[in-house]
Amino acid sequence: MNQLGKIIQAEVLRIEEESRGKEIPCRPLFHIMPPAGWLNDPNGLCWFQGKYHVFFQYSPFDVNGGLKIWGHMTGEDLINWEYQGAPLLADTPYDCHGVYSGSAWTEDGIMHLFYTGNVKFEDKEYDYINNGRGSCVLHVSSRDGIHFSEKKVVLTNQDYPEDYTCHVRDPKVWKEDGKYRMILGGRRKDGKGAVLFYQSEDLEHWELEKELTTEKPFGYMWECPDLFSVNGQKILSVSPQGLEPQEYCYQNVYQSGYFLVEKEDGRELQQFREWDYGFDFYAPQTFEDNRGRRILIGWMGMPDSTEEYQNPTVAQGWQHVLTLPREITVREKKVYQYPVEELKEQRKDRAEIKGGEVYSFEGNYFEVEAEAARGDLKICLDEDLHLEYEENTREIRLIFTGAGGCGRTIRKTRLEEFHSVRLTADASCVEIYLNQGEMVFSTRYYPQTEKRSLKLEGIWKSADFYKLSR
């Protein structure tokens, strides 16, 4: 580690030590949160040497963001996590303004990490879009998943097409047909978002392979790209910026969603589906675990959203979490995402909920599973957070009517049929899965009372309540 790295590391350790042991009323049990300060995108997700590894964008220095480094969690079961420190620091000329998002590739007992190094050209007249920053791709490796090699630059701005701005970032690396492949998100000079594909024989020397985008403009920037297959179906996940809000979609500042891909041809990128319709979801990444499951984890937050809503955890010195790990499946061209099965092992004290009656309880860690019959349906949590479904219009809404949303108000879309719901509450983190994961709403929620209540309105076949605990 160089001298700058030692200085940054010492400051990180000091801040984390000051935060250790603080009482955190909204602390989740199962969602990854930062030791201190700010968290955003999940990075470097992988299974390596008997453990799951989750890296994340981390700024312990500033609860509202700031200089980004990588934090690191490991676990054996996707439920219980142990913090391993901050392995990647902004300590070279190629990443001095931030260790931005990236991915992991594991092979032959070695973990490889690729990420975007952010450099702002502050000595020039600053042009945020076209030439105001350097966006290198850097590579490090490790044999134990904890200690990493010297950083190597494998791509610079000069390696990107001339018709691209300086906004090219977030490498995702995998191996296909005997070659290593990398996908990067980008912003073209004509204001159109796209992804770039590179290929390599050795993980060090990369050549541009092709570009993929839509025929018509679809946002000005595509962040955090991911290309993977589930049950033979290829899926391109991107987080577009610049989409105009519509009545039933694109209601957040920025979106995250996917295209079903047949030939990696822009003409095939027709129908974009959002991963999550709630208030707090962005920048997901997937990986395949040792059991062959495709697992997705997202950032349970939203960039540039502070004008609309806030998180009171800022006063406690931290902000944001990652979502629960979700298993991705595909059935009849539909993509489903559902909490990994390990979460059910944390359930206890099952109780039956009767429709039309108020169920009172205490505690911030619980799940509700319910099977619907027909007609209009409604779930009310603490008379503040409401999930409503109108059968005639097929409209489904997530609504805050009290102070628990901290500025969050309503998100709505359409669902053809409502069969089942699973609501998972982990302190201030609420994830709602409809029809076994056909649709998801994720939101932060800050209850205003210790005496909790739940009410199901409409006709339900069954409804069960479970407490969650370690």
Average pLDDT over residues 51-55: 99
pLDDT of residue 340: 98
User: Considering only 53-57, 170-174, 313-317, 422-426, which range has the smallest mean pLDDT?
Assistant: 313-317
Note whether 3-16+32-339 and 345-468 share their fold: no
What's the pLDDT tens digit per position in 165-186? 999 999 999 999 999 999 999 9
* pLDDT of 191 over the 80 cut: yes
pLDDT of residue 262: 85
What's the pLDDT tens digit per position in 12-52? 999 999 998 888 888 899 999 999 999 999 999 999 999 99
Given the DSSP bridges, would you call strands 37-48 and 51-59 parallel, antiparallel or unpaired?
antiparallel
Mean pLDDT of the chain: 96
Q: 345-468 in CATH: which number?
A: 2.60.120.560
**Confidence category of residue 338, pLDDT binned at 50, 70, 90:** very high
* pLDDT of 267 over the 80 cut: no
What's the pLDDT tens digit per position in 371-410? 999 999 999 999 999 999 999 999 999 999 999 999 999 9
**Confidence category of residue 60, pLDDT binned at 50, 70, 90:** very high
What φ, ψ does residue 128 adopt, rounded to 5°? -60, -35
Cα separation, 426 vs 422, in Å, equals 13
pLDDT of residue 263: 76
What's the pLDDT tens digit per position in 356-371? 999 999 999 999 999 9
Average pLDDT over residues 411-421: 98
* pLDDT of 317 over the 90 cut: yes
What's the pLDDT tens digit per position in 86-137? 999 999 999 999 999 999 999 999 999 999 999 998 776 778 888 889 999 9
Percent of the chain with pLDDT over 90: 91
The active-site residue out of 41, 91, 170, 226 is 41
User: Dihedral through CA 397, CA 402, CA 406, CA 410, nearest 10?
Assistant: 20
In sequence order, the β-bridge partners of residue 238 are: 257
Average pLDDT over residues 56-74: 97
pLDDT of residue 123: 73
pLDDT of residue 265: 63
pLDDT of residue 266: 58
pLDDT of residue 22: 82
Active site (annotated) includes residue 41: yes
Q: 3-16+32-339 in CATH: which number?
A: 2.115.10.20
What's the pLDDT tens digit per position in 321-334? 999 999 999 999 99
| CA 209 to each of CA 108, 244, 261, 322: distance values in angstroms, whole numbers, following the listed order | 25, 31, 17, 32
| Residue spans per domain, the chain | 3-16+32-339, 345-468
**Confidence category of residue 189, pLDDT binned at 50, 70, 90:** very high
pLDDT of residue 319: 96
> From the CB of residue 436, how many other CB atoms can be counted at a distance below 10 Å?
15
